[in-house]
Amino acid sequence: MEKLCEIMGREKGDENMDTSKTLIETLGIKVTKLEEGLVTATMPVDERTHQPFGVLHGGASVALAETVASVGTYHLVDQDTESCAGLEINANHIKAKKDGIVTAIATILHRGRTTNCGRRRPTNLRFQVYNGSN
């Protein structure tokens, strides 16, 4: 059973976020950096994440973006009394990728009492998924 505390090399914490047997595990998503207001994760571009034409499936990209947003928000709430879920996500798929690794970086733009808004870099849209050549 893989938990974020194990992914991040921590002895305790994040006990409630078990990523085994989830889409995160299925797609091979790995959280590589987790700080307050910042999450970075990677995902392989392979048979698990391809569309039938052999390139990265847009839904997999969106799942990666939603993962960094959800993990980041989860670490901003009181995990004993609050929960979190995504409200909206938008994506434009401009460039195809056949193999390698993609990386998503999420940063907090606004932290409200009941909602948070993230952004992607370098634009002020929500998230940037880098394809390795950016």
**Which amino acid is present at 123?**
T
Task: Write the CA distances from 122 to 49, 81, 85, 130, integer angstroms.
Answer: 24, 34, 24, 10
Contacts of residue 66, defined as CB under 8 A and 6 or more positions apart, other chains included, come to 86, 89
Residue identified by tokens 């940037």 is 128
Task: Write the CA distances from 127 to 9, 40, 124, integer angstroms.
Answer: 25, 11, 8
Cβ-contact 69, 31 below 8 angstroms: no
Measured in residues, the chain has a length of: 134
Has 6 been annotated as catalytic? no
Catalytic residue selected from 2, 36, 66, 88? 66
Active site residues: 66
